[in-house]
Amino acid sequence: MLEKTLIVDLINISDPNGITTAEEGAVGLGEVFGFPFQTIESVYPVDADTLIVVDDNNCSAADVARALRRTTPSSSSSGCPNR
């Protein structure tokens, strides 16, 4: 029998280096990063301390293009846009 061990909580990742910046209306950005996922497709171990997580956020290229057209330099869209 295998024992399940939590390695990372993908919706509660500490961002002490400020890789993301909190923005009004954005979800999952700032001091705590929330990985935007619907389905984790794969997890690949790289070494003893590193995993690659492949996610499927179910956003089509057309959805992303529409979100980018709506985004201005003073605002941003996060997550999959509503259809």
Digit-coded pLDDT (tens) for 16-31: 888 888 888 777 888 8
Digit-coded pLDDT (tens) for 46-56: 998 888 888 87
Digit-coded pLDDT (tens) for 38-48: 788 898 999 98
> What is the reported pLDDT for 67?
62
Whole-prediction pTM: 0.51
What is the maximum alpha-carbon separation in the chain?
Answer: 52
CB burial of residue 66 (10 Å; 0-12, 13-18, 19+): middle
